[in-house]
Structure 1
Amino acid sequence: MKYSPKQLATAFYEILTEKPSARKEIITHFAAFLKKTGLTKMLSDIERHFEIIRLKKENAIKVEIATAEEKPPTFPTKINGKKVELFWQTAPSLIAGNIVQIGDLRIDNSVRRRLNDLTEAIK
């Protein structure tokens, strides 16, 4: 029987949420199942689908922000009624500004990108 990464991720998520106290054992058995069935090559796809399923079920969105400066003291905990899972990275190479990633949407408002655009425009 052939399983898709989405099917495996869904099953894994459902089992984990049914028995959160057995999390370590479930993860160990799931990893052994993937190895035994030769599905470890699908692990990155399974992980990607698992994250999509988890965020949807928990009514959350993942927001990744990179800035040249340190993290500000406050950030919204909800956007459009969804819980925000914030991942912050300080990246001095941006010079100033920020890069925001929400799902497939990427907004690059960094000085580094603007300088690169300017360099390309004057070539």
Structure 2
Amino acid sequence: MFRKSKTQQPAPPTAPGIEEILEDVETFKIPQAYVTEARTAELQNALLAEPDNLSLKIWWQVFDDYEHKVKKLAAINEKIDVQKTQLQSCKRKLENNAEGLRVALQKQLELIQEGLH
């Protein structure tokens, strides 16, 4: 008696092409917040005062602040590793030079002992 009519659905949108994606990537920029001691203290106070009722803006500021600190710490660790490697290299050179000097002094001592006898 009643027939179901097929409803016409509009065609789904097409996926963006590579060119469109690359254009979007070029225009997409994330503003980097400048971290200061006052800003850090302000965010810590907000986090301690109302940790469950933070606004989304404050939450993202805390997140950005934390991310900045993590990146800074990673850079410091990398510098420390480079300096540690350089110090180990210098230590090996000094030990080699010291051993060479010990050997040379021992030879000189032996020559002096032979000359006295």
* Structure with the larger helix share: 2
Q: Verify same fold: TM over 0.5.
A: no
- Provide TM-score, normalisation by structure 2: 0.23
Q: Tell which structure's C-alpha radius of gyration is larger.
A: 2
- Provide TM-score, normalisation by structure 1: 0.22
* Structure with the larger strand share: 1
